């Protein structure tokens, strides 16, 4: 049994199916090469100490007996909820030192909270020598995320655990790794930080007030996600581009796009991308464009000219892993 371990997990980018996935529909997500690392050390005593330099948390400490009883600082809520849930589920406890290290800014919606939750639970399972398979790891993490955040489909956890590109049905009813080749995607950041929970609630409001119309939109999204799965497996970029445009139209109807996103998406299309759409909850954050390699430079330039920041990320990244 080890006393200390470092585990890392990747962030994610939603390719197709956001929002509808909350309502039990499928989506497609890919893991990105921006990782979060969590180092966990078992120590004596009865305190848990967390250091998370990216979010400016230094030597935050609480007693094990306070787990579940006090309000956690919001910057490290996921880490502490993960420890609380793990201790409760497996009836274990120990003093701990935890340290997180992020390879990406939590400003971009790359899923830092899901990656940190997955890394923490995986690290705990290793140092307490408890075998936790991927599906069980998903379930514990999903419970944790729902307790902290209240909403979410869990797609980002699946990406953090399995890595690669995944066909995922809301709540983890289906988690299907896809065989895909390289994806020539360009990612543009609007510069606007978006709050996923707020946007999910906004769509829930629309759904409540206009159930029939919104359900039809979700059904259309489901159809296109299924088509995208086939197009991805066949590396059919023109078809994928078409489906991205279709998905964007439906997201626009759900009122989650913004003028800034529309602007970046429009400029990518005008410079010859196969297709483009927002990625994630919307309200700002990132867009993605699929473009032939010969057009990538032009598309990137157009996004930047329209006020976006091009982010350099690789897709299909490896899932959760133990670091040396």
* Residues found near ligand PMV in the complex (CB under 6 A): 14, 18-19, 21-22, 109, 152-153, 155-156, 196, 200, 280-281
Choose between 93 and 202: whose C-beta lies nearer to ligand PMV.
Answer: 202
Choose between 98 and 158: whose C-beta lies nearer to ligand PMV.
Answer: 158
Is 221 exposed, middle or buried (CB count within 10 Å of its CB: 0-12, 13-18, 19+)?
A: buried
Query: Is residue 100 a contact partner of residue 40, using CB atoms and an 8 Å limit?
Result: no
Min dist. Cβ of residue 90 to ligand PMV (A): 26
Choose between 152 and 241: whose C-beta lies nearer to ligand PMV.
Answer: 152
Min dist. Cβ of residue 45 to ligand PMV (A): 36
Three-state DSSP state, 70: coil
Choose between 228 and 302: whose C-beta lies nearer to ligand PMV.
Answer: 228
Of 156, 215, 219, 312, the active-site residue reads 156
Q: CA geometry: angle at 100 spanning 162 and 163, to 5°? A: 10
* Cα–Cα nearest to 279, from 16, 71, 90: 16
Residue ranges of the alpha helices (H) in the chain? 77-90, 112-127, 134-149, 155-162, 196-209, 211-233, 237-253, 259-270, 296-305
Residue ranges of the alpha helices (H) in 55-210? 77-90, 112-127, 134-149, 155-162, 196-209
In the annotation, is 219 catalytic?
Answer: no
Min dist. Cβ of residue 206 to ligand PMV (A): 13
Choose between 152 and 188: whose C-beta lies nearer to ligand PMV.
Answer: 152
Structure tokens that stand for 149 in this block? 């955040």
Instruction: Report the DSSP pairing between strands 95-102 and 47-52.
Output: parallel
Calpha distance 97→253 (Å, rounded):
47
Min dist. Cβ of residue 233 to ligand PMV (A): 22
* Cα–Cα nearest to 175, from 188, 187, 186, 163: 163
Query: Is residue 2 a contact partner of residue 186, using CB atoms and an 8 Å limit?
Result: no
Query: Is residue 139 a contact partner of residue 151, using CB atoms and an 8 Å limit?
Result: no
Partners of residue 323 on adjacent β-strands: 6
Three-state DSSP state, 56: coil
Calpha distance 113→100 (Å, rounded):
11
Calpha distance 169→183 (Å, rounded):
22
Min dist. Cβ of residue 170 to ligand PMV (A): 7
Choose between 50 and 251: whose C-beta lies nearer to ligand PMV.
Answer: 251
Min dist. Cβ of residue 57 to ligand PMV (A): 22
Residue nearest to ligand PMV (CB): 280
Which amino acids are annotated catalytic? 156
């Amino acid at each position: 049994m080890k006393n200390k371990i470092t585990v890392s997990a990747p962030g994610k980018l939603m390719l197709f199916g956001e929002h509808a996935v909350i309502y039990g529909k499928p989506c497609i997500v890919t893991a990105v090469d921006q990782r979060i690392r969590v180092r966990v050390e078992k120590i004596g005593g009865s305190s848990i100490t967390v250091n998370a330099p990216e979010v400016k948390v230094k030597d935050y400490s609480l007693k094990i007996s306070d787990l579940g009883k006090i309000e956690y600082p919001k910057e490290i809520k996921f880490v502490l909820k993960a420890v609380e849930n793990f201790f409760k589920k497996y009836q274990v406890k120990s003093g701990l030192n935890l340290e997180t290290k992020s390879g990406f800014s939590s400003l971009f919606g790359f899923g830092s909270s899901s990656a940190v939750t997955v890394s923490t639970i995986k690290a705990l399972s290793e140092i307490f020598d408890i075998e936790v398979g991927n599906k069980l790891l998903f379930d514990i993490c999903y419970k944790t995320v729902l307790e902290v955040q209240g909403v979410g489909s869990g797609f980002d956890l699946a990406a953090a655990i399995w890595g690669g590109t995944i066909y995922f049905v809301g709540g983890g009813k289906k988690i299907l790794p896809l065989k895909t080749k390289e994806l020539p995607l360009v990612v543009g950041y609007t510069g606007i930080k978006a709050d996923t929970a707020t946007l999910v609630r906004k769509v829930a409001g629309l759904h409540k007030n206009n159930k029939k119309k919104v359900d039809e939109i979700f059904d259309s999204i489901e159809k296109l996600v299924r088509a995208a799965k086939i197009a991805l497996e066949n590396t059919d970029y023109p078809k994928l581009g078409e489906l991205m445009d279709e998905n964007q139209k439906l997201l626009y109807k759900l009122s989650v796009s913004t003028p800034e996103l529309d602007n970046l998406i429009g400029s990518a299309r005008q410079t010859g991308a196969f297709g483009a759409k927002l990625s994630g909850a919307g309200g700002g954050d990132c867009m993605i464009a699929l473009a032939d390699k010969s057009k990538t430079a032009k598309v990137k330039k157009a996004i930047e000219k329209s006020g976006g920041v091009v982010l350099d990320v690789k897709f299909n990244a490896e899932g959760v892993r133990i670091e040396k």
